[in-house]
Amino acid sequence: MKGTISDPHWANLAYIGIAILLGNELLYQVKRKTIYIVITTGLVVNAALIGTVLMHTLSPLIDWMPHELKNFQYLKQQGLPDTTLLKLNKIDERFYSSEQYIRHLKDLLTPEEFQIHSELIQKSAMDLSADRLTRVLKWDRTGRQLQNLLEQNELPHISYVVSREYQLSSALSFYLTDRPWPHSIEKPERNLWSPIEKVKSEQSIFVCELQECQGALEDFYQRFKMNLNYLGEVETRSRKRLIRILQVYSIGH
């Protein structure tokens, strides 16, 4: 295929074409009653699966939230003692539920450390973007929160939103008032309408998800070689459920 990004539409068209050919073949080779049974069974199974996915998206049926601590710089900025940070640095594994991670923290930290710092540590370790179903929720609310934060910092109008992942900057750009152009560090081939020279010269912001921010900031400095000014944090919830936490910076000129 031409281009630097493969087009998934060809795969989708192939699936549809195969389904049409298979259906046409079944029409001539299998009894009509059998076809009706197969179609009905397929519809029922699909409806059950879709219903289960929707239920899990809106209200998780199981505790599946990966935890992996990466943003030690954030914890240090929040005042976590060096002795506690040294203990946390020994964790080099990934946990797949909140309960499992909390148990590990209890074993690792003293009761006093756990009582004071466990909530902050867990918040920074939650890999919220790993749950692809959660990622589709509440972007309109996140957009409003980000717009309010920009206005509080006297930046109501921006031209570009920069992030490491294209999905993050593109979603935010859609829900911001001025529809700024997204710019991806990870996928430069997507930056046709947001060349780095213009991002550097016009009013732009950099956004990263809290858990990934330390690595994302390193990638930003390597690519842009510009200063960042911290604007604040955007925390989106659905009732008590945490949906996403974003760190927001303005790009200095």
Of 100, 101, 118, nearest to 109 by C-alpha is 118
Q: Percent of the chain having pLDDT more than 90?
A: 62
Reported as a pLDDT band with limits 50, 70 and 90, residue 7 is low
CB distance 72 to 85 below 8 Å = yes
Across 2-6, 88-92, 229-233, least confident range: 2-6
**Alpha-carbon gap, residue 108 to 90, rounded angstroms:** 9
Q: Token digits for 160? A: 């570009």
State the pLDDT at residue 211: 94
As beta bridge partners, residue 232 has: 248
Phi, psi angles (nearest 5°) of residue 157: -125, 120
CB distance 125 to 68 below 8 Å = yes
pLDDT in tens, 102-145: 999 999 999 999 999 999 999 999 998 887 777 888 999 999 99
Residue ranges of the domains in the chain?
A: 9-58, 72-126, 134-251
Across 22-36, 42-56, 193-207, least confident range: 22-36
Question: Which whole-number Å values give the CA distances from 47 to 35, 134, 194, in the listed order?
Answer: 18, 20, 41
Of 137, 176, 171, 136, nearest to 156 by C-alpha is 176
- pTM (2 d.p.): 0.80
Q: Is 210 exposed, middle or buried (0-12, 13-18, 19+ CB in 10 A)?
A: buried
pLDDT higher than threshold 80 for residue 46: yes
Q: Name the 3-class secondary structure at 131.
A: coil
Fill in the DSSP letter of residue 155. Answer: -
Reported as a pLDDT band with limits 50, 70 and 90, residue 2 is very low
Pairing of strands 181-184, 228-238: unpaired
Higher per-residue confidence, 33 vs 107 = 107
**Residues of 142-167 as b/e, b for ≥16 C-beta within 10 angstroms?**
bbbbbbebbeeeebeebbbbbbbbbe
Q: If you search the block for the tokens 């960042």, which residue do you land on? A: 228
State the pLDDT at residue 35: 76
Q: Name the 3-class secondary structure at 158.
A: coil
Q: Is 89 exposed, middle or buried (0-12, 13-18, 19+ CB in 10 A)?
A: exposed
State the pLDDT at residue 30: 75
State the pLDDT at residue 8: 60
Q: Token digits for 13? A: 């068209």
Ramachandran bin of 192, using left for φ above 0, alpha for ψ from -120 to 50, beta for the remaining angles: alpha
Q: Name the 3-class secondary structure at 31.
A: coil
pLDDT in tens, 142-186: 999 999 999 999 999 999 999 999 999 999 999 999 999 999 999
